[in-house]
Structure 1
C-alpha cells in the first residue's frame, strides 16, 4: 500500500481528531492536509502510520487552537463550533467518526486547555493508550494521566445527569419543528423547558439575536412569529442531525445556507436552542445566503402586512 493510500484510509480519523480539538471544519481540514505534507516529506516510514499521523495532527491542532483562542477573545458575541451534519446518509465515513460523542464534546471541550482537550479526545473518544497519548502531545505518561483526570473532572461538571436516547430526541425535534412551522405557541411552549434559552452565533457578520432570549413563554412567542415571515420569503427548513444533536438547516429559495439550529434536549424538553449564522462557519456546507439581504426582504414583507 502506498503512503497516499494509507493516508486516505486514515483521513476520517485524522479529521475527527482535529475537528474535536479545534471545533472548526476548515481548520481541521487544514490540519489534516498539513499532516499529509509532513508525512509525505518524512524520509523514513514510521512503524505505525496511524500513531505517527495521529501524533502529527494532534500537535498541529494544539498549536492552531492556542492561536485561535486569542482570536476568540475578540469574537463578537457567543462562539459555537462550526456545524457539521452528522446524518448517516450525508457522509457515512465522517458521520461514523463524529456522531458518537460529538454532541457533548462540541461545547464542553471549550472548558479545557488545549493540552487537556487533546488528551481527553485521544483517550476518551478514540481509546488511545497513555504511551500513545504521551507521544502525540509530547508529555510524559504521568503528566498525561493527570491531564486526563483534570479534563474528565471539567467535563463531568458540565454534563447533564440524564440524556434522552436518540429516538426520543428525534421525535421531540420533529414535534418542535412542526409546531414552529405552524406558529403553534401552545405546542411550542409544551416542548420548551421553563428556563429554555435561545442564543445565536453570528460573529458580527450576519443578523443574530441582539441578546439571548430566556423563558419558554418569550421563546415560544418569538418562534411562532418568526416562521410566517421566513415562509413568505421562501425559506425552507430541513431537519438534520447537527454535531450529533437534532437540529435543522435553514436555506433560502435558491437552496443557499442561511443558518443552522441545534437543540439541547434533556428530560423530554428542549433546554437550549443554538443557532449559527456566521457565514465563515457555513461555507463548508455549500453556497451561503446573503443573510442581511434576507433580513431586509423579511422586514419589507412585515411592513407590507402591518
Structure 2
C-alpha cells in the first residue's frame, strides 16, 4: 500500500511539474538571460521536488520558490564569469517562450526583449527576481516574499527600486508589431539582395550594432556606432553571406523582429535582433558566440565558413549617386 501511495504521488508530481515547466523556465530565463542555465535550473528544481518527502500544498508556490532561489544562486556565481567575458555580453537568444498567458502577452513579450534583459542585468539578483515575479508574472507580494526569503515590506521596496531603474532605461518600441515586422522583412530582403540603398534607408542615423562573439567567432568589431560605419560593415559582411550560400531565416528572436543566419548546410552561424522605433532600426544585436547557439540548432564552424566566404565573395550594388 505504501508503495502504491508513493507511486501515485510520484505520478502526481510528474504531472504537476510538467504542467508548470513552461512557467518555471520562463522565470529562470528572465532572471539569468541564459537558455542553458535556465534549463539546468529547471532540472535541479525537478530533482528537489522529486526528493521532497511530502506533497506541498501548492505545487506552483513550491516550485516557483525553488526555481527562483536556485536562479538567484546561479546568477550570483555567473556574475564573476560575465565580468571576465571577452567583448560585449548579450543574452542567449530565445526563439520561442514556452509560457503563454493571453492576459499578460504584452508584458511577457516586452520582458523577453534583448533590451529588457540587458536592463535587468543592472539590477541586484534580488531586485531582478522580485521584478520578474511581480511585473512579468503578476505574483502577489506574499508569494514573492516566500520565494526570495524576505519580508513583504522589503519586497515592496525592492519592486519599487527595480521598477524605477527599468523605467529609466526602457526602450519604447513602436506599438504596431505588424509595422515592425514589415520593416524587418524589408531589411532582411535588402540584405539577401545585397541592396545597400535599401539597407541604408531603414537605419537610424545613430544606429548601434553590437556583436557578442565571446572571442570565439569572427567579428568585424564588437560595437559599431552610426549609420555610415554600420553600412560599411554590412557592405563587407553581406557578400560573405551571399557568396557562401548562407541563409537568412527571418524569425522572432526574444519576442522582437530578427533572424537566424545559417550556413549552406543549415547550421547556425548567428542570430540577429532588431530594435525598431519611429519607423527605423535603432539597434542591431548579433549573437555569434557558438556557446550560446546550441539550443537553436547544430552550430556551424563560423571560422571555416568565414574563410570559405572570403575566397568566393561577390560585390554589392553600390549606393545610388546623388
Cα offset, 1:266, TM superposition = 1.0
**Aligned residue in 2 for 1:266:** 277
Alpha-carbon shift at residue 247 of structure 1 (Å): 0.3
In 2, the alpha carbon distance for the partners of 1:264 and 1:162 equals 7
Q: Does 1:216 align with 2:227?
A: yes
Q: What's the CA shift for 1:299?
A: 2.0
Following TM superposition, by how much is the alpha carbon of 1:221 offset from its aligned partner in structure 2, in angstroms? 3.4
RMSD of aligned Cα (Å): 1.9
The superposition leaves residues 219-263 of structure 1 with CA deviations (integer Å, 9 ceiling, x where unpaired) of 123223422221211110000000011000000111110000000
Aligned mates of 1:161, 1:94 — CA distance in 2 = 23
Q: 1:298 aligns with which of 293, 309, 320?
A: 309
Q: Distance in 2 between matches of 1:147 and 1:268?
A: 35
Q: Which runs of 5+ in 2 are unaligned?
A: 1-10, 316-322
Q: How far, CA to CA, are the matches of 2:112 and 2:23 in structure 1?
A: 14
Q: With structure 2 as the length reference, what TM-score do the two structures score?
A: 0.89
Bigger shift: 100-109 or 122-131?
100-109
1:125 Cα offset (Å): 0.4
Match of residue 33, structure 2, among 23, 45, 51 = 23
Q: Within the alignment, does 1:75 sit opposite 2:85 as a pair?
A: yes
Query: Which has the greater radius of gyration?
Result: 2
Matched residue of 2:282: which SS?
Answer: strand
Partner SS for 1:283: coil
* 1:281-296 equivalences in 2 (<5 Å): 281-296=292-307
1:249–1:260 CA contact under 8 A, matched in 2: yes
- Tell me if structure 1 keeps the 8 A contact 2:214–2:289: yes
Count of residues in correspondence between the two structures: 300
Change (3 A) 1:272 1:31: same
Match of 1:50 among 60, 71, 75: 60
* Structure 1, 58-67 or 37-46: larger mean CA deviation: 37-46
Given the alignment, which residue of 204, 209, 222 partners 1:193? 204
Structure 2 counterpart of 1:10, from 8, 20, 29: 20
Question: What is the CA-CA distance between 1:161 and the residue it aligns to?
Answer: 4.4
Distance in 1 separating the partners of 2:305 and 2:227: 27
* Partners of 1:59 and 1:116 in 2: CA distance: 13
